[in-house]
C-alpha cells in the first residue's frame, strides 16, 4: 500500500471514530435530557402519591430520591385579663322542659318540624321528685302529650375575687313569678319581663348562695369568692 492510500485510510478511520464519539455523546445527552424532563414532570405534577394531604394539614412531597415535609404551626395568642374590681353579671330565670307522649312518635311528612321520634313514655306513678315548685309534672292531655319541667338560674355559678364589687342583674325570662334571696344581701320578687339589680362587695372568701323560694329545691345558684 502506497503512502497516499495509507493517509486516506487513516483519515477515513478518524472520521468514523469522530462520528461514533458524537453519536455516543448525543445518546448520553438525550438520556440526561429525558431524565431531567421526567424529574421535572414528576416533582411539579400531581402524579400518583407525589402530593398528599394528611389529616393534620401537613403537605408531603415525595420523589424518587427525597422526601420534603412542611408542617403548619398555630400561633398562640396571649391575652392579659382585666384586673378590674367591678364585676357585673346577668342571671336569667329559665326552665327546662322535657316534652313527650304516652304514645310512640310517628313520622310526619307534612309537619313543619321534622323532630326525632321518641318511644312511648308514661308519667311517673311513684316518683322520686322532691317536694317544691322547682319540678312540675304535667298530666297527659287528650292525645297523650305530657311534660316534665325543671326551673333553674342561668348561669347558676359565678366566680369572683375577694374585694370585688359584684353587681347582679336578675332577669325574669321564664316563670310567671319568683321570690329570690341573695344570702346576706336581701330578698325580692321578680316577675316575667322584669329586671332586679343588687350590688355588694365580696369582702370575705367563701360561697354566697342565691335561691328562688318558689321553685325549690333546684332553683339555686352560688357565688364563689376566691381569696386574694
Q: How far apart are CA 53 and CA 22, in angstroms?
A: 47
Q: Are residues 97 and 32 in the same domain?
A: no
Q: Are residues 106 and 10 in the same domain?
A: no
Structural domain count, the chain = 2
Q: Does the structure show a pLDDT above 70 at 37?
A: no
Q: How far apart are CA 146 and CA 21, in angstroms?
A: 99
3-state helix, strand, coil in the chain (%, to 5): 20, 40, 40
C-alpha cell at 114: 321534622
- pLDDT of amino acid 87: 95
Q: Are residues 47 and 149 in the same domain?
A: no
Q: Are residues 10 and 114 in the same domain?
A: no
Q: Are residues 194 and 108 in the same domain?
A: yes
- pLDDT of amino acid 1: 56
Pairing mode, strands 86-101 and 145-154: antiparallel
Q: Does the structure show a pLDDT above 70 at 220?
A: yes
Burial 205-225 (b: 16+ CB within 10 A, else e): eeebebbbebbbebbbbbbeb
pLDDT in tens, 57-75: 444 545 555 666 777 788 9
Q: What is the CATH number of the domain that holds 148?
A: 2.60.40.420
pLDDT in tens, 85-126: 999 999 999 999 999 999 998 888 888 888 788 899 998 876
Q: Are residues 142 and 207 in the same domain?
A: yes
- pLDDT of amino acid 210: 98
Q: Let me know if residue 208 belongs to a domain.
A: yes
Quote the domain boundaries for residue 121: 86-226
Question: How far lies 195's CA from each of 61, 170, 192, in Å?
Answer: 62, 5, 9
Q: Does the structure show a pLDDT above 60 at 54?
A: no
C-alpha cell at 192: 316575667
- pLDDT of amino acid 15: 57
Q: Are residues 112 and 211 in the same domain?
A: yes
Q: How far apart are CA 28 and CA 31, in angstroms?
A: 5
Q: How far apart are CA 33 and CA 23, in angstroms?
A: 15
Q: Are residues 60 and 141 in the same domain?
A: no
- pLDDT of amino acid 34: 45
What pLDDT band is residue 35 in, cutting at 50, 70 and 90? very low
Q: Mean of the per-residue pLDDT values for the chain?
A: 80
pTM for this entry:
0.64
Q: Let me know if residue 76 belongs to a domain.
A: no
Amino acid at each position: 500500500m502506497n503512502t497516499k492510500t495509507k493517509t486516506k485510510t487513516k483519515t477515513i478511520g478518524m472520521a468514523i471514530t469522530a462520528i461514533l464519539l458524537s453519536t455516543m455523546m448525543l445518546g448520553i445527552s438525550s438520556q440526561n435530557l429525558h431524565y431531567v424532563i421526567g424529574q421535572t414532570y414528576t416533582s411539579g405534577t400531581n402524579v400518583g402519591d407525589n402530593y398528599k394531604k394528611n389529616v393534620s394539614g401537613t403537605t408531603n412531597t415525595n420523589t424518587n430520591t427525597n422526601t420534603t415535609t412542611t408542617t403548619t404551626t398555630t400561633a398562640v395568642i396571649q391575652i392579659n385579663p382585666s384586673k378590674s374590681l367591678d364585676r357585673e353579671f346577668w342571671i336569667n330565670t329559665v326552665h327546662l322542659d322535657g316534652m313527650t307522649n304516652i304514645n310512640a312518635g310517628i313520622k310526619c311528612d307534612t309537619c313543619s318540624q321534622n323532630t326525632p321520634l321518641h318511644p312511648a313514655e308514661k308519667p311517673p306513678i311513684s316518683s322520686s321528685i322532691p317536694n317544691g315548685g322547682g319540678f312540675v309534672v304535667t298530666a297527659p292531655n287528650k292525645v297523650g302529650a305530657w311534660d316534665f319541667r325543671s326551673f333553674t338560674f342561668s348561669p347558676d355559678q359565678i366566680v369572683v375575687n375577694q374585694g370585688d364589687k359584684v353587681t347582679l342583674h336578675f332577669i325574669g325570662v321564664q316563670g310567671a313569678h319568683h321570690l329570690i334571696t341573695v344570702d346576706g344581701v336581701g330578698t325580692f320578687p321578680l316577675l316575667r319581663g322584669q329586671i332586679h339589680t343588687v350590688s355588694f362587695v365580696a369582702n370575705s372568701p367563701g360561697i354566697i348562695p342565691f335561691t328562688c323560694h318558689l321553685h325549690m329545691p333546684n332553683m339555686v345558684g352560688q357565688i364563689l369568692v376566691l381569696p386574694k
